[in-house]
């Protein structure tokens, strides 16, 4: 049963990887495809689905504390490790910490959650993307801007503004507003959103595979190994402990929280590294390696959680 769930998802990623590796598709096409996924397909899906669910399902505070607490604890641990073990610039340390806790919710997490738990689990699935995009990504940006200001005496808020104007965050807010005010989405608009949303899962997975075909860096292996361990083992372990022993989260929500924590590192970290021209190769390597290994770790997690 687990293989029936996992194999099609990672099978599409393999198709994307092979298409890029054998130049059937241009590797640079990953950027175009991922932009379609995050600017159009996922926002359309988030808006139309969230407009139909009670707002209370989104703001489950136990679930938010478990998910956010696991992210925050992993970020803190990895920042300490970056500071005292892998000494680098403050910007690189911020990206190191972000790489350790930023899950690939958009590319892999939500598609996996939709397949395993169905559309009723979309709200908690989107919560992971919202928390990382609205809270933790800006934290890394602020640290990087503080580091830049020390060197140039200028402070740019443009990266934070771009993060807060993320289409996923805007679509989430719009969908929850429609739900709270009982606003019915016009049928033609709903149909358009449904069609675009249907393209989300295959396009996200194909884009992830195409991105991985670009290869990985073969240096800084100690730091890369630690970050892969932190993302695939430490982060879900902390989240599981919070879910089971602190907030007593039960059933599907506990599984979804741990599943999101166990996801590989997310591509937005690589995009932010490119923005600041540091930690680029290392973040790319962690994303690729953790994604490849997550085929095994996620399969095991799903097997033992069912």
Domain boundaries defined on the chain: 2-301
- Residue 43 in 3-state DSSP? helix
Q: How much is the pLDDT for 217?
A: 59
* Cβ neighbours of residue 30 closer than 8 Å, sequence gap 6 or more: 16, 20, 207, 208, 210, 211, 214
Tell which CATH architecture fits domain 2-301.
Up-down Bundle (1.20)
114, 121 in Cβ contact below 8 A?
yes
Between CA 207 and CA 306 the distance in angstroms is: 29
Q: How much is the pLDDT for 11?
A: 85
Q: How much is the pLDDT for 37?
A: 81
Question: What CA–CA distances, in Å, run from 66 to 69, 122, 207, 290?
Answer: 5, 17, 29, 22
104, 291 in Cβ contact below 8 A?
yes
Whether 169 shows a pLDDT value over 80: the answer reads no
CA atoms within 13 A on the CB side of 3: 0
The confidence band for 207, taking pLDDT boundaries of 50, 70 and 90, is confident
Query: Bigger pLDDT: 80 or 295?
Result: 80
User: Tens digits of per-residue pLDDT, 134-150?
Assistant: 788 778 878 887 777 65
Average pLDDT in the 278-294 region?
Answer: 85
Q: To the nearest 10°, report the CA torsion of 254, 269, 33, 13.
A: -60
Whether 188 shows a pLDDT value over 60: the answer reads yes
The three-point CA angle 168-171-174 to 5° equals: 150
Q: How much is the pLDDT for 269?
A: 84
Average pLDDT in the 180-192 region?
Answer: 92
Q: How much is the pLDDT for 2?
A: 54
Predicted structure pTM score: 0.80
């Amino acid at each position: 049963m687990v293989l029936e769930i996992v194999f099609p998802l990672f099978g599409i990623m393999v198709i994307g990887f092979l298409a890029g590796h054998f130049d059937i598709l241009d590797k640079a096409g990953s950027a175009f495809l991922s932009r379609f996924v995050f600017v159009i397909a996922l926002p359309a899906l988030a808006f139309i689905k969230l407009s139909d669910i009670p707002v209370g399902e989104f703001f489950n505070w136990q679930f938010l504390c478990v998910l956010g607490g696991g992210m925050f604890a992993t970020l803190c641990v990895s920042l300490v490790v970056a500071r005292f073990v892998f000494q680098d610039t403050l910007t690189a340390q911020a990206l190191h910490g972000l790489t350790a806790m930023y899950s690939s919710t958009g590319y892999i997490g939500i598609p996996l959650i939709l397949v395993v738990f169905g559309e009723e689990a979309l709200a908690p699935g989107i919560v992971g993307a919202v928390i990382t995009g609205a809270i933790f990504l800006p934290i890394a940006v602020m640290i990087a801007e503080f580091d830049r200001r020390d060197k140039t005496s200028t402070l740019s808020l443009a990266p934070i503004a771009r993060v807060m104007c993320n289409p996923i965050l805007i679509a989430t807010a719009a969908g929850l507003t429609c739900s709270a005010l009982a606003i019915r989405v016009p049928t033609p608009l709903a149909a358009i959103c449904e069609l675009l949303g249907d393209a989300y899962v295959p396009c996200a997975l194909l884009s992830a595979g195409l991105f991985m075909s670009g290869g990985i860096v073969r240096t800084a292996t100690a730091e890369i190994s630690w970050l892969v361990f932190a993302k695939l083992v430490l982060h879900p372990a902390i989240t599981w402990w919070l879910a089971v022993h602190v907030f007593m989260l039960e059933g599907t929500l506990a599984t979804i929280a741990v599943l999101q924590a166990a996801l590989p590192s997310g591509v937005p970290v690589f995009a932010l590294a490119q923005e600041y021209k540091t930690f680029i190769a290392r973040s790319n390597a962690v994303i690729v390696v953790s994604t490849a290994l997550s085929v095994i770790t996620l399969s095991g997690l799903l097997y033992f959680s069912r």
